Amino acid sequence: MPATREMHGSEDAAVDQSKDERMRALNAHEAPESPRQGGRRAAGQDPAKRQKILDGAKRCFLSVGFEAASMNEITAEAGVSKGTIYVYFADKEELFAELIDRERGNMLISAQQLLEHSDSIEEALTAFGKHVTLRLTSDHVVRAQRMVLGVAERMPKLAGRFFGPDPFSGVSVLGSYLEQKVAAGELVIDDTELAARQFMDLSMAGVFKRRLFGSLTEEQGNAMIDDMVHKAVEMFLCYYGAKRSD
pLDDT score, position 112: 92
pLDDT score, position 151: 86
DSSP state letter for 36: E
Alpha helices in the chain (DSSP H): 9-28, 47-64, 71-78, 82-88, 92-116, 121-136, 139-150, 156-163, 170-183, 192-203, 208-212, 222-240
pLDDT band at 56 (very low <50, low <70, confident <90, very high): very high
Give residue limits of the domains in the chain: 9-30+106-240
Least-confidence region, from 47-56, 204-213, 215-224, 232-241: 215-224
9-30+106-240: what fold? Tetracycline Repressor; domain 2 (1.10.357)
pLDDT score, position 74: 95
Q: Can you tell me the distance from the alpha carbon of 9 to that of 29, in angstroms, rounded to the nearest whole number?
A: 31
Using one digit for the tens of pLDDT, what is the confidence trace for 155-197? 888 888 777 666 558 899 999 999 999 999 999 999 999 999 9
Residue 187 has phi, psi (to 5 degrees) of -135, 155
Using one digit for the tens of pLDDT, what is the confidence trace for 185-195? 999 999 999 99
Work out the average pLDDT over 99-106.
86
Q: Can you tell me the distance from the alpha carbon of 37 to that of 15, in angstroms, rounded to the nearest whole number?
A: 42
Crossing angle of helices 9-28 and 170-183, in 10° steps, is 150
Residue 213 has phi, psi (to 5 degrees) of -95, 5
